[in-house]
C-alpha cells in the first residue's frame, strides 16, 4: 500500500498544484501538523530535478512563515490551542520545565529542531510561550530550514535517478527508517524536556 502511495505521490508531484500543496504542508508543519514537508519535497525533486531548488525555496519560505504562526499560538493561545497541541504529542506535563530553560539556549534549539527530526512545531510554540525575541526565531528558522530543505534538494538534484532507484529497490526499509527517525524525534524531545 505504501508503495502505491509513493508512486501516486510521484505522479502528482508534476501536477500544477503540487507547489501549493508543498507550501501548505511546509507552513502547517511548522505550527501544528505532524507530517513533515519532506514527504512531498523528496518525490517532487525526484519527479522534477530541474525544480529541486525552487521546491526547497518554497519549503523554506512557507516553513518560516509557519514558524510565525507557531509563535503566535504560543504567545496568544498557549492556554487553549498551545496546550491542546502539546497534549497531542504527550508533552504537556514536561513543557513547563522545558519552557523555563528555553530562552537561555533557545536559538540553538530552534536550529536543531529546524534541521533534525525534532518536532519543529513544539519549538515554535515554545518560542512564543516564552516570548523569545522574534528576530531570533526568524533568523534561526531561516538558517535551519533552508539548510535542511536545500540539502535534500541538492542531494536529489545531484543523485536523483540513482536515489530514485535506491528508494524503489529498498522502499520498505527506508519507510521503516523514516518512521523510526520521525517517532524518535518526538521521543527525544519528550525526554529532553
Whether 97 is in a domain gets the answer: yes
Residue with cell 525533486: 45
Please write the tens of the pLDDT for every residue from 66-123: 999 999 999 998 888 888 887 877 777 767 777 777 767 777 888 777 777 667 888 8
pTM of this prediction?
0.77
Whether 55 is in a domain gets the answer: yes
Instruction: Give CA–CA dist 149/52, Å, rounded.
Output: 9
How many domains does the structure of the chain reveal?
Answer: 1
Q: 56: which 3 cell numbers?
A: 526547497
Residue 159 confidence (pLDDT) = 86
Indicate the helix (H) or strand (E) that contains 13.
Answer: none
Whether 13 is in a domain gets the answer: no
Average of per-residue pLDDT across 35-62: 90
Whether 159 is in a domain gets the answer: yes
Whether 133 is in a domain gets the answer: yes
Average of per-residue pLDDT across 38-43: 84
Residue 62 confidence (pLDDT) = 97
Average of per-residue pLDDT across 48-62: 95
Q: Does residue 175 carry a pLDDT above 70? A: no
Residue 168 confidence (pLDDT) = 61
Instruction: Give CA–CA dist 119/32, Å, rounded.
Output: 9
* CB distance 124 to 137 below 8 Å: yes
Burial of 182 (0-12, 13-18, 19+ CB in 10 A): middle
Q: 4: which 3 cell numbers?
A: 502505491
Range of the domain at 143: 2-8+18-192
Instruction: Give CA–CA dist 25/46, Å, rounded.
Output: 18
Amino acid at each position: 500500500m505504501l508503495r502505491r502511495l509513493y508512486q501516486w505521490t510521484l505522479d502528482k508531484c508534476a501536477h500544477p498544484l503540487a507547489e501549493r500543496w508543498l507550501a501548505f504542508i511546509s507552513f502547517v508543519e511548522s505550527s501544528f501538523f505532524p507530517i513533515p514537508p519532506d514527504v512531498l519535497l523528496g518525490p517532487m525533486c525526484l519527479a522534477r530535478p530541474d525544480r529541486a531548488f525552487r521546491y526547497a525555496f518554497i519549503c523554506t519560505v512557507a516553513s518560516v512563515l509557519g514558524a510565525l504562526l507557531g509563535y503566535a499560538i504560543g504567545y496568544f493561545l498557549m492556554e487553549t490551542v498551545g496546550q491542546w497541541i502539546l497534549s497531542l504529542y504527550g508533552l504537556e506535563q514536561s513543557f513547563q520545565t522545558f519552557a523555563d530553560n528555553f530562552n537561555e539556549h533557545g536559538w540553538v534549539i530552534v536550529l536543531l529542531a529546524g534541521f533534525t527530526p525534532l518536532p519543529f512545531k513544539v519549538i515554535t510554540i515554545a518560542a512564543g510561550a516564552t516570548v523569545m525575541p522574534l528576530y531570533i526565531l526568524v533568523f534561526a528558522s531561516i538558517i535551519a530550514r533552508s539548510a535542511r530543505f536545500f540539502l535534500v534538494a541538492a542531494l536529489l538534484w545531484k543523485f536523483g535517478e540513482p536515489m530514485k532507484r535506491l528508494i524503489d529497490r529498498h522502499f520498505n526499509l527506508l519507510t521503516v527508517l523514516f518512521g523510526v527517525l520521525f517517532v524518535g524525534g518526538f521521543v527525544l524531545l519528550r525526554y529532553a524536556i
